[in-house]
A and B are shown apart, each in its own frame.
Chain A
Amino acid sequence: MSITYRFRRFVNLYKVFIHLASLAARQRLIYRISGFILFAATLMEISALVFFWRVAQGESMDEAILGPQGITGYIILAGLLGAANIGFGDQQMGKAVRSGEVVRHFLQPLDIQMTMLAREIGGWMGAALLTTIPVLLLSSIIIGTPRPAGAIPLLAFIISWLLGAATIAAFDYCVGLLTFRTVQDFFISQAKVAIVAFFSGALIPLAYLPDILKLIAEFLPFQQAVYIPAAIYLGIIPLDAILKALLIQIGWFVFLILLGRLGWRWTVQDVALHAT
């Protein structure tokens, strides 16, 4: 096969995944009432955290940890990123396995991991348009926080947000592979969301954790989804360290993709398809 042919094939495949992602995004946007209610639910969830932390922390600024906008700015942003990026994407695989739809993935010439990632990222984009961005704008207008630390941090934040969502989507895929071994995907998902939310910085600034938990959080990929984008946005990560933070995110994403590929190879060794 010539290089041109391979290149064209790669671009066409890339277009397919973009199309799958846009379909997933549009599917989220179709049910607008549902989206508006989810908007209110997210607002409520974040408000509870903001009230809690305001009372717990007082109005202490703690700039080095929370940025110049204090606990309110951090918690709103972290809460939003948590609500947007941390979800139940691993249940995609569970539904596919239980319904038998996973057979389709064995037959079609599309990479299952990229297909699921595309769908999850597309869904994330739809949710971002319907919920995350409106809540962010609303709180910026009404409360005045959180504001980006500058134009470059804002641009870097968008890239970091996307990378964070992709990292968690890749992690969700790895967790989803467990569905081939157990039917308890719903409960595993619930535990996963709790663990990810805790160690991502969505509930509590990571710097507030005791040393042992901080160390655990450092070695897990979850802060890429919440703390890193929030820290870039709020200026906690200085300008000269942003590139390093983005490269680490890319590193985690690639690592989880490879882990997912290994996991898939191990999983399909024992799969029996019932032909009916």
Chain B
Amino acid sequence: MQPKMTQTLRIYLACQHLRLKTMWTYRLDFVIGAFAYIVQQALVLLFLDVVIKRVGTLQGWDFWELAFLYGLLAVPRSLTSLFANSLWILGLGYVRNGQLDRLLLRPINTLAHLLSDHFYPQWIGQILTSIIILVVAAHHINIQWSVGSVALLLLFLASGTVMYFSLLLAAASTGFWIGDNYSLLILISNMAEFGRYPISIYPMPLQVILTWIIPIAFATVLPSSFLLGNPGTRIALWAPLVAFLTAILAYGIWRFGLRYYQGAGT
């Protein structure tokens, strides 16, 4: 019998609560981990600052608009990393080592169990800095913030998170077939990095790929262009639908892979 969603959610939250308690036992370690990511984020902004000070704008995008764009990518990415870090080791750590059998035997949705198996609260540091970057950038750019535009921003962030998670899930599911798929996950992650800059800087074929095949543009560039009031960007309002479709497709690939999985045979 499939466990109910509420029961699965309750078990998932209980697992995360335990992990938080474990991590909090080693507070200094937690702080080191969180701080390390703050350093990483700061260097990204420093890079943008150095470049923009030299060239002025990047195809009309100034520093704060680029920082806002980066924030729209960083928040979903860090949220996904916090809750779905296990996906990175599905192939190597679970399928190849037979650890997935352990998850299949438990009375909890396998995907939920996988996601709760590795939880690093240190990613909270990255989430907080990403949000700070987004908020500070939003304050400096030319957007008339209202309840409506804030709600739209939150919707775009939620869609971006779902999209990024779905891409990662689809890529991770290839682990059922190819085992060591870590490189593929790096490939997808690198593709997502393209969303850090305005996609107009890329050649047209790449723009098409980033919009319709790996729809990162719907997570970053299109929403920020729409919020900035750039013409011809109403397509950004399709972001939640694109996120939903991506999630359905990714979950389908996951289920297909799980059916294909035959166990470690030990």
A interface vs B, CB < 8 Å? 31, 33-35, 37-38, 40-41, 44-45, 47-48, 51-52, 54-57, 182-184, 186-188, 190-191, 194-195, 197-198, 203-204, 208-210, 213
Contacts and interface: CB of A to CB of B under 8 A. Distances in A.
Nearest to A42: B190
Contact of B43 (A56, A186, A195): A195
A50 to B, nearest CB: 10
B122 A187 contact: yes
Contact of A187 (B33, B51, B180, B191): B33
A187 B58 contact: no
A43 B206 CA distance: 13
A194 B44 CA distance: 8
A191 B39 contact: yes
Contacts of B212: none
B32 A204 contact: no
B183 A188 contact: no
21 contacts: A31-B180, A34-B183, A38-B183, A40-B187, A41-B190, A48-B193, A51-B197, A52-B58, A184-B122, A186-B33, A187-B34, A187-B122, A188-B33, A190-B37, A191-B39, A194-B44, A198-B46, A203-B47, A204-B51, A210-B53, A213-B46
A47 B37 CA distance: 25
Chain A's interface: helix, strand, loop or mixed, by majority? Answer: helix
A35 B34 CA distance: 31
B248 interface: no
A204 B50 contact: yes
A190 B33 CA distance: 10
B24 interface: no
A51 B55 contact: no
B146 interface: no
A55 B200 CA distance: 10
A183 B26 contact: yes
B40 interface: yes
Contacts of B196: 48
A198 B43 contact: yes
A194 B37 CA distance: 9
Contact of B32 (A54, A188, A213): A188
Nearest to A53: B51
Interface residues of B, number: 41
B40 A194 contact: yes
Contact of A188 (B36, B181, B194): B36
Given A52-B201, A57-B55, A213-B50, 6 more contacts: A41-B183, A45-B190, A182-B28, A190-B40, A191-B40, A208-B51
Contacts of B44: 194
A152 B182 CA distance: 38
A56 B49 CA distance: 12
A209 B43 CA distance: 13
Contacts of B54: 56, 208
Contacts of B51: 56, 204, 208
Contact of A44 (B43, B122, B180, B187): B187
Contacts of A31: 180
B186 A184 contact: no
Listed residue (B53, B187, B193) with the most chain A CB atoms within 10 angstroms of its CB: B187
A198 B193 contact: no
Nearest to B44: A194
B184 A37 contact: yes
B191 to A, nearest CB: 6
B29 A184 contact: yes
Contacts of B46: 198, 213
A42 B36 CA distance: 24
Given A34-B180, A204-B50, A210-B50, A182 B43 contact: no
A43 B59 CA distance: 23
Contacts of A188: 32-33, 36
B244 interface: no
A35 to B, nearest CB: 7
